[in-house]
Every structure is written in structure tokens, then in C-alpha cells.
């Protein structure tokens, strides 16, 4: 039976924040935790090959986290079982609660390495990678659960062939993004596929998490009920809405949103300084600032900002003018 670790103690269904590259860093996760935390956080995905090379010092910043973000799972990707073994040992050493293998990313640069969604085309290699990661954990000084995030197939639905291959390796958990690689995120998620995955995993001990087009917690609870999934992962819905996982029914005002945006920016600047490009914050401004009179003009101003101080001044002036 799979080793579940902390997963065993979570409520059912549990709700998770999806790993998103250049989005869900420790700064963003801490902003989320302040306003309404999920039951579990994931890191951005990090390359095993890079972590096992001289480039480790640059990449390891993507594995930074705080105690307030627990339980937290490190997501990793690659195509070499040997570097998965070494990375699993590093993840344990860094104190993570779990390690997750990305087998669903459709990014061309990732797939060119034979990683991410490409692993659905090489199931034997995928199994070797999972087993190497499990071995790396076993050979460390502390057991943590190993999980997999994937899709239903590469060009078309191959769930009936693909999922059993993963289940054979006894992972703690499988997150199913209910689309194929070919569909990217352009077609509606197939939640009946999640229900199928739940049936296929029944009796195995492996937990199933559904992912794709989840709008909010109410929608997540409904999808968990309909599919029988143990948990639901939410991703894009969190943009501009750090209250997404808030269980108290809090509805943020425009002022709440702009103040959260300013705090997010200031925290980003304090944490990363010149080590991360300030332009990365601009995608968040597009999400925080929409759906109200004057939003477009405000976004235009924010897109020209280069410092957190400028963002604060523009936001405060906007709110003052509205008064």
C-alpha cells in the first residue's frame, strides 16, 4: 500500500493550490496564507537536472518556503531517474512534507527534454522515475509521500491505459488535470474523467485529486461530491483573489483588492530585490485590477511601474479620487 504521510490527516475533500510556474513562489503562497489558506500548498516546479548540477544555487530559491505554508509539497520535473533519486533526497533534506512529480506540463521546452507531458508517451520511463523518487525518499532519514500530477493522455484520452501504469508504482496521490496535452487549457475540463480515475484507483490506497476549471470552493465541493475525488486543486481562479480558499464567506471590496495587490508587490520587492524581474508582478496587476470603473486606466498606470513605492502611490491616489 502507498505511504500517505500527511495526506492521511487532511479533511475529505481537501483543497489545494495548484503549482504554477512564475506564479506560486513563496511570496504568493504567503499572501494566500494570510487571506485564506488551502489545505496544502505546492511549489513551482523545479528541474531535477538543474538541482543536480552547478546551477543548484540559482534554482533552489524556487524551493524556498516558510513554516506558515505547511503542509507543502515540492514539485519536480525531468526525464532522468538518477536525478530524480538525488532530488528526492534533497527535498527530504529541505524539510518538505511531500514530493510531487510533474507528468503533465505541456510546455514545449519541458517536453523537449522528455519531461512533463512527454512522459505519457514513455510509461516505462515514467514508472522508473516514480520508483527512483520513492527510493530516494526511502534512502533518506525521513519518509515523505511521493505523488504525481498528470493528464488523461497526450493526444487523446488514454486514461484507461495510462493511469494503471502509474497506480502500479503505488504513489500516495495522483492529481488528474482533466484534459489531454493536446487540449492544453483551451477546452472545458472533462470531470467525468476524474470520476473514472476515482473508480480505477478504488482499493489501491492511492488518493485522487481533480483539477481543471474549478471556479471557487463551492464549485470544488460540488465537483468532489460528483466525482468522489479525495481532493480538488484550484489554479487560475486564485489570480487577483487571495481569498479564494477563505471559508468564512468573506467578499473583498475594491479597496481590499488594491491593498492586497500593494502588499503583494511590497513583499515581492522585499523578498527578491533584483534577483527576480519586477515585470513578473504585472500579470498579477491584470488580475487584481478589473471589473470596475476606471480599471483599464489604472492598469495602464501600473504597467509602467518599476517599484513597489510607485504601485502604492498609484493605488492610494486612485482610492482617494474615488472617495
- Is 107 found in the same domain as 183? yes
Structural domains counted in the chain:
2
Residue 69 domain flag: yes
pLDDT for 322 equals 86
Residue 246 domain flag: no
- Is 21 found in the same domain as 160? yes
pLDDT for 55 equals 87
Q: Which among 205, 238, 271 is the end of a domain?
A: 238
d(CA 15, CA 24): 15
Please write the tens of the pLDDT for every residue from 90-136. 999 999 999 999 999 999 999 999 999 999 999 999 999 999 999 99
- Is 52 found in the same domain as 90? yes
- Is 62 found in the same domain as 193? yes
- Is 88 found in the same domain as 194? yes
Residue 117 domain flag: yes
Q: Which among 206, 238, 270 is the end of a domain?
A: 238
**CA angle 197-200-202, nearest 5°?**
105
- 114's grid cell: 522528455
pTM for the model stands at: 0.96
Residue 244 domain flag: no
How would you write 134-176 as a 3-class SS string? HHHHHCCCCCCCEEEEEECCCCCCCHHHHHHHHHCCCCCEEEE
pLDDT for 202 equals 98
d(CA 74, CA 102): 10
pLDDT for 178 equals 98
Please write the tens of the pLDDT for every residue from 216-238. 999 999 999 999 999 999 999 99
The answer to whether residue 161 scores a pLDDT higher than 90 is yes
Bridge partner list, 149: 102, 175
Residue 248 domain flag: no
How would you write the chain as a 3-class SS string? CCCCHHHHHCCCCEEEECCCCCCCCHHHHHHHHHHHCCCEEEEEEEEHHHHCCCCHHHHHHHHCCCHHHCCEEEEEECCCHHHHHHHHHHHHHCCCCEEEEEECCCCHHHHCCCCHHHHHHCHHHHHHHHHHHHHHHHCCCCCCCEEEEEECCCCCCCHHHHHHHHHCCCCCEEEEECCCCCCCCCCCCCHHHHHHHHHHHCCCCCEEEEECCCCCHHHHHHHHHHHCCCEEEECHHHCCCCCCCCCCCCCCCHHHHHHHHHHHHHHHHHHHCCCCCHHHHHHHHHHHCCCCCCHHHHHHHHHCCCCHHHHHHHHHHHHHHHC
- Is 189 found in the same domain as 102? yes
The answer to whether residue 271 scores a pLDDT higher than 90 is yes
- The domain that holds 29 is classified in CATH as 3.20.20.70
Range of the domain at 223: 5-238
Q: Which of 48, 52, 105, 305 is catalytic?
A: 105
Residue 245 domain flag: no
Residue 109 domain flag: yes
- Is 39 found in the same domain as 63? yes
Contact between 115 and 104 (Cβ < 8 Å): no
d(CA 306, CA 278): 7
- Is 52 found in the same domain as 153? yes
- Is 193 found in the same domain as 300? no
- Is 285 found in the same domain as 158? no
Q: Which among 238, 267, 300 is the end of a domain?
A: 238
Q: Is the peptide bond before 71 cis (omega within 30 degrees of 0)?
A: yes
Catalytic annotation present for 52: no
- Is 266 found in the same domain as 223? no
Residue 128 domain flag: yes
Mean pLDDT over all residues of the chain? 96
The answer to whether residue 315 scores a pLDDT higher than 90 is yes
- Is 275 found in the same domain as 313? yes
- 266's grid cell: 511590497
Amino acid at each position: 500500500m502507498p505511504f500517505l504521510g500527511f495526506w492521511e490527516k487532511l479533511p475529505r475533500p481537501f483543497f489545494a493550490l495548484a503549482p504554477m510556474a512564475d506564479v506560486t513562489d513563496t511570496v504568493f503562497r504567503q499572501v494566500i496564507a494570510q487571506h485564506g489558506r488551502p489545505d496544502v500548498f505546492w511549489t513551482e516546479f523545479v528541474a531535477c537536472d538543474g538541482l543536480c548540477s552547478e546551477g543548484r544555487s540559482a534554482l533552489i530559491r524556487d524551493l524556498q518556503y516558510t513554516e506558515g505554508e505547511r503542509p507543502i509539497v515540492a514539485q519536480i520535473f525531468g526525464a532522468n531517474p538518477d536525478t530524480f533519486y538525488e532530488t528526492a533526497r534533497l527535498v527530504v533534506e529541505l524539510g518538505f512534507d511531500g514530493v510531487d512529480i510533474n507528468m503533465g506540463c505541456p510546455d514545449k521546452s519541458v517536453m523537449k527534454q522528455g519531461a512533463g507531458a512527454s512522459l505519457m508517451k514513455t510509461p516505462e520511463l515514467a514508472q522508473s522515475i516514480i520508483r527512483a523518487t520513492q527510493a530516494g525518499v526511502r534512502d533518506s532519514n525521513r519518509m515523505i509521500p511521493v505523488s504525481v500530477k498528470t493528464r488523461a493522455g497526450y493526444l487523446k484520452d488514454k486514461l484507461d491505459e495510462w493511469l494503471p501504469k502509474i497506480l502500479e508504482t503505488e504513489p500516495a496521490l495522483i492529481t488528474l488535470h482533466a484534459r489531454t496535452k493536446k487540449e492544453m487549457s483551451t477546452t472545458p475540463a472533462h470531470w467525468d474523467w476524474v470520476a473514472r480515475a476515482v473508480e480505477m484507483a478504488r482499493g489501491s490506497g492511492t488518493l485522487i485529486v481533480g483539477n481543471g476549471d474549478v471556479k471557487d470552493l463551492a464549485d470544488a465541493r460540488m465537483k468532489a461530491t460528483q466525482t468522489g475525488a479525495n481532493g480538488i486543486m484550484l489554479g487560475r481562479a486564485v489570480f487577483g483573489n487571495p481569498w479564494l480558499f477563505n471559508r468564512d464567506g468573506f467578499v473583498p471590496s475594491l479597496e481590499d483588492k488594491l491593498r492586497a495587490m500593494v502588499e503583494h508587490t511590497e513583499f515581492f520587492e522585499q523578498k527578491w530585490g533584483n534577483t527576480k524581474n519586477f515585470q513578473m508582478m504585472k500579470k498579477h496587476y491584470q488580475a487584481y485590477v478589473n471589473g470596475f470603473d476606471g480599471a483599464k486606466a489604472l492598469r495602464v498606470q501600473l504597467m509602467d511601474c518599476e517599484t513597489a513605492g510607485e504601485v502604492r502611490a498609484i493605488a492610494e491616489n486612485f482610492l482617494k479620487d474615488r472617495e
